[in-house]
Structure 1
């Protein structure tokens, strides 16, 4: 796999060095099943919030729990590689939990970014971000840009 993809423990060591060098760590997470314009605009907005962008990627097993048995469409190693090849992404780590609480507790990012379809009140990770002294930033949602919408369009088009 690409050299931007690390296990959480190793990434924690790397990020400690980045913080010591004065870099601000931004963290976001998601399934990123079929990469689309909503994802890339979202990641660009997240990167603009700090110096280093870390993406926590839901594993295949956690995507199944969140999205159902037919997902993910793309295996986790391929999704991680695609994300790692995006210019704005500095590091990727794969996690098996349904939320990013444990990853955030381990990595302690300065800023946690989620899309505008969330609010801080319904964000499962909010408490752990605040406990580690981090800030939460919500970025604008790209209306209509979703993997589900793409899948539905493909099904309608090729029925």
Structure 2
């Protein structure tokens, strides 16, 4: 098994691993997304998220979840491709798939110490903020790299730069 594959977890495996980390006093950071076409904005965001704690867990939307959220033409890359790419980053410690439109159930299960989203969200709009705050954790936003989004990349590929 390749090192990146060792970072891909089922939910039961992840809960065991997070429990071990937290028992050792390590702060677990959680974020989520589709990460369909990974670009510099994703890399910057994830690396900054990891620096907020000791371990970074990424919840990754399944293919069906992405299609429900973004439409039938998405994702462009299947979940196994997306999860391996996420797991290959040194700053990502664990990746788990989730099939819902939001990561609320996953956040309730994982009970991260720090919940992170991009600064295009307000605290009140971050799914699971109440769960994390109720257990004494923190919720943070990270500045996004301006001018980068998967939708913009797709538009550029399609030659429609006015989207």
TM bucket, shorter chain? over 0.9
| Cross-structure match for 2:115 | 112
TM-score, normalising length from structure 2? 0.93
Residues 57-87 of structure 1: per-residue CA shift (max 9 Å, x gap): 0111110111111000000011000000011
**Partner SS state of residue 3, structure 1:** helix
1:88 is displaced (CA, Å) by 0.5
| Cross-structure match for 1:81 | 84
2:24, 2:132 → 1: CA distance?
A: 21
- 1:92 aligns to 2:95 (yes or no): yes
Q: Which of 56, 59, 63 in structure 2 is aligned with 1:56?
A: 59
Gaps of 5+ in 1: none
Deviating runs (4+, > 6 A) in structure 1?
A: none
Asked whether the equivalents of residues 108 and 128 of structure 2 are also in contact (C-alpha less than 8 Å), the reply is: no
1:118 is displaced (CA, Å) by 0.4
2:44, 2:119 → 1: CA distance?
A: 12
1:119 is displaced (CA, Å) by 0.5
Residues 18-40 of structure 1: per-residue CA shift (max 9 Å, x gap): 11111110000000000100000
Asked whether the equivalents of residues 60 and 83 of structure 2 are also in contact (C-alpha less than 8 Å), the reply is: yes
Gaps of 5+ in 2: none
Asked whether the equivalents of residues 34 and 73 of structure 1 are also in contact (C-alpha less than 8 Å), the reply is: yes
TM-score, normalising length from structure 1? 0.95
1:128 is displaced (CA, Å) by 2.1
CA RMSD of superposed structures (Å): 1.2
